Structure formats: C-alpha cells, structure tokens
C-alpha cells in the first residue's frame, strides 16, 4: 500500500467524520436521559457536544483508523474493524426521574435518540452540501463523508439486535415478557458478532450504501 498525501487526507476526513458522528450520537443518548431526569449522564459530563467527553481512544480513533488503512490496502480485515464511543451510562432510578415513564419506555427513548441525532446531522450536512454545490466549491469531501457516515451509523444502529440501539428500541416496542426479546437479550451479542465476522452484516448494509449514494445524487440534481 502506498502512503501518499491523498491517502492521509482521506484518513483525516474519515477520522474527523467518525469522531463527530459518534460524539453527536452519544450526546443524543445523554441529552434525552438528562431530560427524563436521570442525573447520571450530567454528573459524568456527558451532556455536551465536546468530543473529548464521548470518544474512546481505542474504539473511536485507533481501531477505526487501523480498519480504514486495512480497507484501503485491500485487506478484508478492514470490514471487521468498527468504531464505537464511550457508552452513556444511565441509572433511571424512579425516585430521581422527572418524567414518569416505564423503564422500558425510557430506555427506548434514550436508545432512539442516538440514531435520530445522526439523521439530524445528516440533514444539516445535506443542506450544507447544497450550499457548497451552489457556490461551486470543489472540495466537499468532509461534508459528503458526514452524510454517508451519519446515515450509515443511524441505520446500522437501528438493526434490532443487542448490543445495538435497535435491540433496545425493539424491546421497548415489543410486548412485555416477549420470548423474542428474551432470546435476543440472551444471545444478541453472539448473533451480532456472528453477523460481523461472517460478513453478513455487510450484506445487510448494502441497501443503506445504495440509499446513501442515491440521496447524494438527488442532492446534486436539486442544486441549480
């Protein structure tokens, strides 16, 4: 693999979009938990957009960057190396909650907030992309990366399998004592890693990649 200026530039764009996307995702979890009255995220300094509060040095920087370099070098190892942030911890103690929701409902709202914040950031980046197209700015790589990263991160996390947010959302929507939820809570992590290491997760994500490129193409058509 040849390490040239363009490769370094692409790595910087990738890492910058990943850090911003993960930070906004974790902030969404913390913000909603805080609004529900849970004091723990604020006490731990997580109700902030400052990336320093949300990044994990290994999961947000080292591991994804290594995966990017593997992928650019043509290695299949790259697809196994995902990024993650520092998980937001919640207590949801009934005596401290200012919003009286059932625990499963509160967990649903908190889990859904992360992907929703990613979709919001993708919408803002899309509006910025239109402005850059109108201004005929040629260097739009960071904005395109934000759109792709946040749509992908949002929809990936909505897969209804623990430990992803989709697993918590599904549990919140399912009937009480659902056997499917009980099965996923017991075996979800094993299923997730099986999907990841067999490459099936990339097959599941193909429609997401197609949707992302379709959306960017649509934005280009809307620009005068």
Asked if 212 contacts 151 with a C-beta cutoff of 8 angstroms, the reply is yes
Q: What are 55's strand-pairing partners? A: 85
Give the tokens for residue 126: 């899309």
* CA–CA distance, 162 with 95 (Å, rounded to integer): 28
DSSP H helices, the chain, are 5-35, 40-43, 63-72, 103-134, 141-157, 165-173, 179-197, 200-222
* CA–CA distance, 112 with 155 (Å, rounded to integer): 11
* CA–CA distance, 67 with 84 (Å, rounded to integer): 13
Exposed e or buried b per residue across 60-78, where buried means at least 16 C-beta atoms within 10 angstroms of its C-beta: beebbbebbbbebeeeeeb
- Is 6 catalytic? The answer is no
* CA–CA distance, 153 with 82 (Å, rounded to integer): 11
Of the residues 26, 34, 38, 165, only one is catalytic, namely: 26
Cα angle for residues 132, 220, 20 (degrees, 5° grid): 55
Which residue, among 192, 191, 160, has the nearest Cα to 178 in the 3D structure? 160
- Active-site positions read 26
């Amino acid at each position: 693999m040849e390490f040239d200026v363009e490769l370094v530039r692409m790595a910087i764009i990738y890492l910058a979009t990943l850090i911003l996307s993960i930070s906004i995702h974790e902030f969404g979890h913390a913000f909603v938990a805080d609004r529900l009255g849970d004091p723990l995220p604020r006490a731990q300094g997580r109700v902030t957009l400052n990336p320093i509060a949300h990044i994990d040095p290994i999961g947000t920087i080292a591991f994804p960057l290594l995966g990017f370099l593997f992928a650019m070098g043509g290695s299949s190892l790259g697809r196994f190396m995902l990024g993650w942030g520092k998980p937001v911890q919640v207590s949801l103690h009934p005596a401290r909650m200012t919003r009286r929701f059932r625990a499963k409902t509160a967990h649903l709202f908190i889990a859904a907030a992360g992907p929703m914040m990613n979709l919001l950031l993708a919408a803002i980046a899309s509006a910025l992309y239109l402005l850059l197209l109108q201004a005929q700015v040629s260097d739009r790589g960071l904005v395109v990366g934000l759109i792709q990263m946040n749509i992908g991160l949002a929809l990936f996390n909505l897969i209804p399998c623990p430990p992803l947010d989709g697993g918590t959302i599904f549990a919140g929507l399912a009937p009480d004592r659902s056997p499917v939820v009980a099965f996923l809570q017991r075996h979800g992590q094993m299923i997730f890693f099986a999907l990841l290491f067999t490459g099936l997760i990339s097959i599941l994500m193909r429609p997401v990649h197609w949707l992302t490129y379709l959306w960017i193409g649509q934005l280009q058509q809307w620009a005068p």
